[in-house]
């Protein structure tokens, strides 16, 4: 009787370990996939569907970023400034402060706009940015190179 029980428990223990190994294999594979294929990046405070571009161009390494949602909400460096038309003066003040912090180089900005945002409303924003002395404005897009 004693012999029988020890025989029956031993293979069961071995079995439970055996079934863990494929699980670990799969989890490791997934881990390696996400580590290699994914790119860790700062997430936006709101989700933005960027417009699609067909030209290959690298994303410049620019610290400050402006976000503009379909609901016309303007974010500067993840901070909500308010609705676009009312936030422009605040934006101007912020950019002046940022500009005064680095007198040697001109301020650069990346702009992330939703693809269904009315393009006409970009004109006042660009005007404000130019008034604030910005020399370099880059629009971020979802890059989809053309199929040959």
Partner 1 sequence: MQLEQISHRKLSVSLTPLIDVVFILLLFFMLSSNFLHWGSVELARSGSDEKSLNAPRLITVLDNQGGIEFGTEAQQVVLGSIALSDAQSALPVALQEWLANDINALYLLRAKPSVTTQALLNSLQQLKLAGVKHLSLYSAPAPIAE
Residues in touch with partner 1 (CB under 8 A): 6, 13-14, 16-17, 20, 23-24, 27-28, 30-31, 34-35, 37-41, 43, 50-60, 106, 110-111, 113-127, 129-130, 134-144, 146-147
Q: Minimum distance between the CB of residue 22 and partner 1, rounded to whole angstroms?
A: 12
Nearer residue to partner 1 within complex by CB, 45 or 60: 60
Q: Is the dihedral of CA 44, 48, 49, 53 positive or negative?
A: negative
Task: Indicate the helix (H) or strand (E) that contains 15.
Answer: helix 2-37
Q: Minimum distance between the CB of residue 147 and partner 1, rounded to whole angstroms?
A: 8
Report the C-alpha gap between 111 and 99 in whole angstroms: 17
Q: 3-class DSSP state for residue 83?
A: strand
Q: Minimum distance between the CB of residue 95 and partner 1, rounded to whole angstroms?
A: 13
Residue with tokens 């069961």: 12
């Amino acid at each position: 009787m004693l012999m029988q029980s020890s025989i029956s428990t031993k293979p069961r223990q071995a079995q439970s370990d055996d079934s863990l190994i494929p699980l670990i294999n799969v989890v490791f594979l997934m881990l390696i996939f996400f580590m290699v294929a994914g790119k860790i990046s700062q997430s936006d405070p709101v989700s933005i569907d960027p417009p699609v571009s067909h030209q290959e161009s690298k994303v410049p390494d620019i610290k400050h970023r402006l976000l503009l949602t379909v609901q016309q909400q303007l974010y500067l460096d993840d901070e909500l400034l308010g609705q676009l038309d009312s936030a422009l003066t605040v934006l101007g003040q912020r950019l002046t402060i940022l500009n005064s912090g680095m007198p040697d180089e001109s301020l650069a900005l990346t702009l992330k706009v939703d693809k269904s945002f009315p393009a006409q409303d970009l004109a006042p924003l660009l005007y404000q940015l130019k008034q604030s002395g910005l020399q370099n404005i880059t629009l971020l897009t979802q890059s989809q190179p053309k199929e040959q």
